[in-house]
């Protein structure tokens, strides 16, 4: 085995003027965990939704899980850019996330309401991350959190708009 394959990832200090990066990396790790959990839940509901609004819900959830999957990479790369390691174990994703699974078989209306509530939960966490980033002079994380919050707020609104007809 070559030395190139024996490199173990580690945390590295990054000197960009951002102050106290550990809490930022933890906040980003929490949002990354939420993003992964909500991506999976959205994909599972996408597969299993039934009823008169199947096509609308199926297409909307597809757009949403694709967006979140791409965002997960961007969030993880921001953690690395701050000099920290991104979560690398499924147990970390489960432990850090504020997203929970619902028990039993859900109706389309219950799926929509569950996803909308989860998007709002993630948006709240992103609002807190935005404030934290601003207090540490991290405009990049602040911008990322603002952008992601806007996505989750819009996702909740769109899901609730569909639920008015079901």
Q: What is the pLDDT of residues 73-109, one digit of tens each?
A: 999 999 999 999 999 999 999 999 999 999 999 999 9
Domain ranges across the chain: 28-90+106-163
C-alpha closest to that of 94 among 166, 38, 150: 38
Mean pLDDT over the full length of the chain? 92
The reported pTM is 0.90
Which CATH architecture best describes the domain 28-90+106-163?
Answer: Up-down Bundle (1.20)
Q: How far apart are CA 131 and CA 146, in angstroms?
A: 10
Q: Residue 15: what pLDDT?
A: 66
CA 38 → CA 51, 87, 117, distances in Å?
22, 16, 11
Q: Give the pair of three-digit tokens for residue 80.
A: 């690395």
Both structure tokens of 106: 């859900």
pLDDT tens track for 32-72: 999 999 999 999 999 999 999 999 999 999 999 999 999 99
């Amino acid at each position: 085995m070559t030395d190139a394959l024996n490199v173990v990832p580690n945390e590295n200090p990054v000197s960009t003027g951002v102050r106290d990066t550990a809490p930022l990396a933890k906040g980003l790790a929490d949002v990354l965990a939420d993003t992964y959990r909500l991506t999976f839940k959205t994909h599972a509901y996408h597969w299993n939704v039934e009823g008169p609004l199947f096509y609308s819900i199926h297409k909307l959830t597809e757009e949403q899980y694709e967006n979140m999957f791409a965002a997960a990479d961007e969030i993880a790369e921001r953690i690395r850019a701050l000099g920290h390691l991104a979560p690398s174990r499924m147990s970390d994703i489960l432990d850090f996330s504020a997203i929970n699974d619902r028990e039993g078989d859900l109706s389309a209306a219950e799926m929509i309401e569950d996803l909308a509530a989860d998007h709002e939960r993630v948006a709240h966490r992103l609002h807190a991350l935005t404030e934290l980033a601003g207090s540490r002079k991290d405009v990049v994380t602040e911008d990322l959190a603002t952008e992601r919050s806007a996505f989750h707020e819009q996702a909740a609104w769109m899901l609730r708009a569909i639920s008015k007809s079901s």
